[in-house]
C-alpha cells in the first residue's frame, strides 16, 4: 500500500535577498586558488589538458619528471612526453593575483632578487614579468590603500548627444572635440564605494532627497557596493588615464503603501464593514439596522427591514 506524503512547498525567494551583496572570505576560495603540490597560491598557474587540474608551473614540471599521471585524479597525462599536455593558464593566474593581496608584488620582488643574485641565469621567456620588472600599476593590480584618479561628468545619454550634434552641425576649420566642460577630477582611495561617491555628489550639488544620484561606467549603472578596485577589475580600464565615471540624477522611486482596511469592532459601523457586520448579526439571530446586500439568488425579490418593505436593487 503506497502512502502519499504531501511535502510543504518551498517559500518563494525574496527579491531583496536575491540581489543583496554577498561578501565571502578569501579562505573560502583557497581550494580553487592553491596548488595541491606545494600548498601555496598559484604562481605561473599551469593546467593539465587531460583533466584540467591546475598547479604551479615549477611544481608540475618537477612532478612530471618522474610521473606520468595527474597528482590529483591519476589520469595519464601523456605516455612518453607529459610536458606536451600542460598549458599555461594566464586567466587563472590573473584571478589569483587580483584576489590575494600583495601576492603579485611579493612575487615580482622575489624574481628581481633572484636575477640580481644570479645575473648570468637565462630568463625562460625573456619577458619583463618573468624578470620581475612589471609594476602593479602596469599589471592593473590595486591595493585598498592605493589612490585612484577618476573623472566624473554628467551623463547625457545617447539620444541627447545625438540631438546636440545634429543641432551643432559640421564644425568649421576642422576643429574637433575640444576640452570637455563639466568634467571634475578626484583622487580617492581604491576601497571607496560607489555609494560614498554618490553621497559626495549629492552633498556637493545639494540634490534634494526626493532624487537619487546614480553613478555609471560608460552607459552601465554601477552597484552601490562596488569599490573603485572592483570597477578597475570588472571593466576594461587599463590605468592609462583617470577612471572615467559618469553620474545622473533621477527621481527616487518610492514604494506605494496600500491602505489598510479597518477591523470592524462593536459599536462601530463603517461603510466598508457594514455588509459583514449585517451578515454576522443576521446569522446570530439578532436584528440589524444595516441594509444587507442581496445575493444573486434574492435579486428581484422584495425585502423588508424592521417590517418596512424595501424596493429591490436593480
Phi, psi of 76 (to 5 degrees): -70, 125
Per-residue model confidence as pLDDT tens digits over 215-232: 999 899 999 999 998 888
Whether residues 105 and 207 fall in one domain: no
> CA–CA separation, 193 vs 235, rounded Å?
15
Whether residues 40 and 134 fall in one domain: yes
Buried b / exposed e over 71-93, threshold 16 CB at 10 Å, is: beeeeebbeeebeebbeebeebb
Whether residues 129 and 35 fall in one domain: yes
17 within some domain: no
> CA–CA separation, 57 vs 13, rounded Å?
44
50 within some domain: yes
Whether residues 125 and 192 fall in one domain: no
268 within some domain: no
Whether residues 91 and 128 fall in one domain: yes
Per-residue model confidence as pLDDT tens digits over 104-154: 888 888 988 888 888 877 766 666 777 777 765 555 566 677 889 999 999
Whether residues 197 and 221 fall in one domain: yes
Whether residues 82 and 105 fall in one domain: yes
Return the pLDDT at 151.
94
Q: Answer for the pair 83, 68: CB distance below 8 angstroms, yes or no.
A: no
- CATH number of the domain that residue 112 is part of: 3.30.40.10
176 within some domain: no
Residue range(s) defining the domain that contains residue 240: 147-166+181-251
Whether residues 221 and 202 fall in one domain: yes
> CA–CA separation, 49 vs 61, rounded Å?
14
Supply angle C-alpha 57, 87, 81, rounded to 5: 85
Per-residue model confidence as pLDDT tens digits over 37-48: 999 999 999 999
3-state secondary structure of 303: strand
Helix axes 90-99, 103-117, angle to 10 degrees: 110
How many domains are there within the chain? 2
Whether residues 124 and 214 fall in one domain: no
Whether residues 159 and 104 fall in one domain: no
122 within some domain: yes
Whether residues 162 and 73 fall in one domain: no
| pLDDT higher than 60, residue 187 | yes
Band the pLDDT of 296: cuts 50, 70, 90.
Answer: very low
- CATH number of the domain that residue 162 is part of: 3.10.20.90
Last residue of a domain, one of 236, 251, 266: 251
Strand partners, 76: 69
198 within some domain: yes
Whether residues 110 and 160 fall in one domain: no
> CA–CA separation, 87 vs 60, rounded Å?
11
> H-helix or E-strand containing 110?
helix 103-117
> CA–CA separation, 103 vs 101, rounded Å?
6
Amino acid at each position: 500500500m503506497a502512502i502519499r506524503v504531501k511535502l510543504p512547498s518551498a517559500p518563494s525567494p525574496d527579491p531583496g535577498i536575491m540581489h543583496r551583496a554577498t561578501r565571502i572570505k578569501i579562505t573560502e576560495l583557497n581550494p580553487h586558488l592553491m596548488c595541491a603540490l606545494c600548498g601555496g597560491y598559484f604562481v605561473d598557474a599551469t593546467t593539465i589538458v587531460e583533466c584540467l587540474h591546475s598547479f604551479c608551473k615549477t611544481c608540475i614540471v618537477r612532478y612530471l619528471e618522474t610521473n606520468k599521471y595527474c597528482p590529483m585524479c591519476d589520469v595519464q597525462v601523456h605516455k612518453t612526453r607529459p610536458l606536451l599536455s600542460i598549458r599555461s593558464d594566464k586567466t587563472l593566474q590573473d584571478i589569483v593575483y587580483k584576489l590575494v593581496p600583495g601576492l603579485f608584488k611579493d612575487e615580482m620582488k622575489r624574481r628581481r632578487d633572484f636575477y640580481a643574485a644570479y645575473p648570468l641565469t637565462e630568463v625562460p621567456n625573456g619577458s619583463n614579468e618573468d624578470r620581475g620588472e612589471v609594476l602593479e600599476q602596469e599589471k592593473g593590480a590595486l591595493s585598498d590603500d592605493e589612490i585612484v584618479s577618476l573623472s566624473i561628468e554628467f551623463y547625457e545619454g545617447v539620444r541627447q548627444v545625438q540631438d546636440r550634434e545634429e543641432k551643432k552641425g559640421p564644425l568649421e576649420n576642422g576643429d574637433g572635440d575640444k576640452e570637455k566642460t563639466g568634467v571634475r577630477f578626484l583622487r580617492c582611495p581604491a576601497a571607496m564605494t560607489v555609494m560614498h561617491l554618490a553621497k559626495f555628489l549629492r552633498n556637493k550639488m545639494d540634490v534634494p532627497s526626493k532624487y537619487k544620484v546614480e553613478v555609471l561606467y560608460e552607459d552601465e549603472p554601477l552597484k552601490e557596493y562596488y569599490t573603485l578596485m572592483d570597477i578597475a577589475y570588472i571593466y576594461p580600464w587599463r590605468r592609462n588615464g583617470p577612471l572615467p565615471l559618469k553620474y545622473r540624477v533621477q527621481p527616487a522611486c518610492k514604494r506605494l503603501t496600500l491602505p489598510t482596511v479597518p477591523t470592524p469592532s462593536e459599536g462601530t459601523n463603517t461603510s466598508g464593514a457594514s455588509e459583514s457586520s449585517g451578515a454576522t448579526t443576521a446569522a446570530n439571530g439578532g436584528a440589524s439596522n444595516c441594509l444587507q446586500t442581496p445575493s444573486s439568488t434574492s435579486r428581484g425579490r422584495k425585502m423588508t427591514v424592521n417590517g418596512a418593505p424595501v424596493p429591490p436593487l436593480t
